[in-house]
C-alpha cells in the first residue's frame, strides 16, 4: 500500500496548552481510520491542521508525498483532500443542488462569469450523480433550511465528495443524527467512498460507529496518540479503556450491529 497522508512530529500549542504533541501518523491509501478521544484530546486540532484550517506550531504534513504545510484549505481541497464538519456547513437559503454546485466550483478552483455560468450542464450532471449516490436526489430543488438534520449531514458529506477527492476527513459524521438514522447514514457514506476508492479518516465519539466501520483506530489523549492499531486491539488497551472509552457511554436505546463485510 502507498502512504497518502503522513505527519511528522506535528505540534500545536495555544499559549501554555499543548493541543498536539509531536504527532507521527501514516495513513495508507484505501484505509478507513477512526479517531477517538475525550473532549480536548486533540482530535479536531489534528484534523484542522491537516486540512489547512489551523497552522501547526511545528512539524510536517505530507499529502501523497508532497508537503502541504501552509497551504490554504481551498488549495488542499483542490489537491484531493476534502472534509466535512461536525456542524454541516451549508447555505440554508440555497437549494441542495446549488450547495453542491458551489462546493464543486470550490474544488475546481473555478471563477464563474457570465461567459461560464455556475450551473453548467457538466456541473449539474456531476452534482446529480452524487446526490443519487447519497440517496438525497429527491431533495435536489429544496432549500436547505427545509431539509431534515440527518439529510443535511449527508448533503454536507456529498459536498465534500462532489469534487472526487482521494481522501475524505469527517468530523463527527453522526453528531446530531438520531440513533435510528445513524447506521443508515454511515452505510450510505461508506458505500459511496468504497465505490470511489477514497481513503477515510473520521473523528467519532460513538464507539458503536467506530467499531463497525473502521479498519484502524487512533486513540488520542492530552494531545498525544496513546494507541494505534486494529479496533479490537485498541479497544482492549488498558489506557484507552481508562482514558478514552470511560468518557463515552452508548446512547440510550442504541444497539450493537455486526460490521458489514
pLDDT tens readout for residues 39-68: 889 999 999 999 999 999 999 999 999 999
Categorize the per-residue pLDDT at 117 as very low, low, confident or very high, splitting at 50, 70 and 90. Answer: low
Mean pLDDT of 21-48: 94
Task: Provide CATH code, domain 30-55+64-80+166-256.
Answer: 3.40.50.300
Q: What does the pLDDT read at residue 190?
A: 95
**pLDDT higher than 60, residue 253:** no
Between CA 250 and CA 253 the distance in angstroms is 8
**pLDDT higher than 80, residue 249:** no
* Average pLDDT of the residues of the chain: 89
Q: What does the pLDDT read at residue 112?
A: 55
What percent of the chain is predicted at pLDDT more than 70?
91
Categorize the per-residue pLDDT at 209 as very low, low, confident or very high, splitting at 50, 70 and 90. Answer: very high
**pLDDT higher than 50, residue 255:** no
Between CA 5 and CA 43 the distance in angstroms is 16
One-character DSSP codes across 217-260: EEEEETTEEEEEE-HHHHHH-HHHHHHTGGG--PPTT----PPP
For residue 240, give the C-alpha cell.
484507552
Give domain limits for the chain: 30-55+64-80+166-256, 90-164
pTM here is: 0.85
- Please check whether residue 134 is in contact with residue 154, taking contact to mean a CB–CB distance below 8 angstroms: yes
Mean pLDDT of 199-217: 94
Residue-wise pLDDT for 158-192, tens only, equals 999 999 999 999 999 988 888 888 999 999 999 99
Mean pLDDT of 24-29: 96
Amino acid at each position: 500500500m502507498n502512504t497518502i497522508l503522513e505527519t511528522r512530529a506535528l505540534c500545536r500549542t495555544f499559549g501554555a496548552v499543548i493541543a498536539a504533541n509531536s504527532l507521527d501518523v501514516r495513513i495508507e491509501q484505501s484505509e478507513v481510520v477512526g479517531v477517538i478521544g475525550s473532549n480536548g484530546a486533540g482530535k479536531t486540532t489534528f484534523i484542522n491542521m491537516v486540512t489547512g484550517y489551523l497552522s501547526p506550531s511545528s512539524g510536517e504534513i505530507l499529502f501523497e508525498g508532497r508537503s502541504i504545510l501552509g497551504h490554504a484549505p481551498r488549495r488542499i481541497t483542490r489537491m484531493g483532500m476534502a472534509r466535512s464538519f461536525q456542524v454541516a456547513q451549508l447555505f440554508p437559503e440555497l437549494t441542495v443542488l446549488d450547495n453542491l454546485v458551489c462546493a464543486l466550483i470550490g474544488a475546481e478552483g473555478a471563477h464563474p462569469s457570465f461567459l461560464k455560468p455556475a450551473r453548467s450542464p457538466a456541473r449539474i450532471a456531476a452534482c446529480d450523480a452524487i446526490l443519487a449516490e447519497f440517496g438525497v436526489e429527491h431533495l435536489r430543488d429544496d432549500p436547505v433550511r427545509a431539509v431534515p438534520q440527518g439529510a443535511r449531514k449527508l448533503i454536507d458529506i456529498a459536498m465534500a465528495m462532489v469534487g472526487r477527492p482521494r481522501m475524505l476527513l469527517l468530523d463527527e459524521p453522526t453528531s446530531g443524527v438520531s440513533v435510528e438514522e445513524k447506521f443508515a447514514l454511515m452505510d450510505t457514506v461508506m458505500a459511496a467512498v468504497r465505490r470511489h476508492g477514497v481513503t477515510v479518516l473520521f473523528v467519532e465519539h460513538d464507539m458503536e460507529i467506530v467499531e463497525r466501520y473502521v479498519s484502524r483506530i487512533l486513540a488520542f489523549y492530552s494531545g498525544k496518540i496513546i494507541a494505534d492499531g486494529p479496533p479490537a486491539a485498541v479497544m482492549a488497551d488498558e489506557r484507552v479503556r481508562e482514558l478514552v472509552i470511560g468518557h463515552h457511554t452508548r446512547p440510550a436505546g442504541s444497539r450493537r450491529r455486526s460490521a458489514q463485510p
